[in-house]
Amino acid sequence: MERVPSVDARIIDHVLLPQGSIDEGVQSAPVPVTSDTRLKKIYIYADGVFTPQSANDYRIVRVRTDAFDLTGWIDFTHAQPSDLFQTEIRVTMAHAADVLLQRTQFSAGALASMQQMAGTNYISGNYIDVVIRQTHSTDNFVTKIPIAYQFIVESR
């Protein structure tokens, strides 16, 4: 019988980036399709794990590419019962930079979708930041909680 690694082991296998850093994606935009411009490209823009060290720690997932639709997930299911988390969706437009679209609180056990973070299944734009932080720790951050995230872009 083959042994399957636990969920925690699979999360730890991801590359852990330093806290308070910016994740600008795991790959560049896909190669343009020249045969049929009506086709959309769907790809994973950012896929990582963030392990907060304090309530002041945060991760910004910065999405910058040509016009796109963004969706994704953040996994808070490995948290302790009274741990609290916060996400912010921030957008930049021609007339204003770093505008708060929505700030949302999450408790332990949640698998947060874009619908919960932004009030819609996807966000359209070309300059979006997703800010992730743990605002409260049951044991004052003695137990490190890995927060996995994945964001997907759909573009032409």
Answer yes or no: are the C-beta atoms of 26 and 18 closer than 8 Å: no
Q: What is the pLDDT of residue 27?
A: 57
Hey, what CATH topology would domain 7-26+41-155 get? Jelly Rolls (2.60.120)
Q: What is the pLDDT of residue 11?
A: 46
- For residues 138 and 15, the model is more confident at 138
Give Cβ neighbours of residue 82 (< 8 Å, ≥ 6 apart): 107, 108, 136, 138
Q: How confident is the model at residue 10 (pLDDT cuts 50, 70, 90)?
A: very low
Q: Please give the average per-residue pLDDT across 48-67, as a whole number.
A: 94
- Compute the CA torsion angle 26, 28, 34, 40 (nearest 10 deg): 50
CA angle 27, 32, 38 (to 5 degrees): 120
Q: What is the pLDDT of residue 7?
A: 46
Whether residue 146 is predicted with pLDDT greater than 90 in this model: the reply is yes
